[in-house]
Amino acid sequence: QKEVEQDPGPLSVPEGAIVSLNCTYSNSAFQYFMWYRQYSRKGPELLMYTYSSGNKEDGRFTAQVDKSSKYISLFIRDSQPSDSATYLCAMRDGAGSYQLTFGKGTKLSVIP
């Protein structure tokens, strides 16, 4: 069983739609959860991070973590064509670790 599972898509939505991106994981030691956005032919950039369970909101983006289900989500409200990118989830365990385990990414297209 892979440590982090992420649906690769592609996911295509109309402009203005609410987008839900998800990852599941198997390692219960993971405590820090991140979402990266990667535009075509660019490096990933950190979008959001959360610690343990709960929600975090930043503008049109909401990150949600459910540790009991080992499930994390990223919601994008009022999606824009500029949100078209690949979204990677990443996670790691306690403070002593500095390596991240990445999902393979979901490719999102927002159609004007």
Partner 1 sequence: DVKVTQSSRYLVKRTGEKVFLECVQDMDHENMFWYRQDPGLGLRLIYFSYDVKMKEKGDIPEGYSVSREKKERFSLILESASTNQTSMYLCASSFPGGLEGNTIYFGEGSWLTVV
Q: Which is nearer to partner 1, 79 or 88 (CB)?
A: 88
Segment 26-55, which members bind partner 1 (CB under 8 A)?
A: 32, 34, 36, 41-46, 49, 51
**Contact status: 1 vs partner 1 (CB under 8 A):** no
Q: Which is nearer to partner 1, 45 or 78 (CB)?
A: 45
Interface residue with partner 1 among 19, 72, 84, 103 (CB under 8 A) is: 103
**Contact status: 102 vs partner 1 (CB under 8 A):** yes
**Contact status: 108 vs partner 1 (CB under 8 A):** no
Give the total of residues touching partner 1 (CB under 8 A): 25
Residue 28's contacts (CB-CB under 8 Å, 6 or more residues apart) are 67, 70
* 29-32 long-range Cβ contacts below 8 angstroms, 24+ apart: 29/93, 29/94, 30/91, 30/92, 30/93, 30/101, 31/92, 31/93, 31/94, 32/91, 32/92, 32/93
**Contact status: 95 vs partner 1 (CB under 8 A):** yes
Nearest to 75 by CA among 61, 89, 92, 86: 61
Minimum separation from the CB atom of position 94 to partner 1 (A): 9
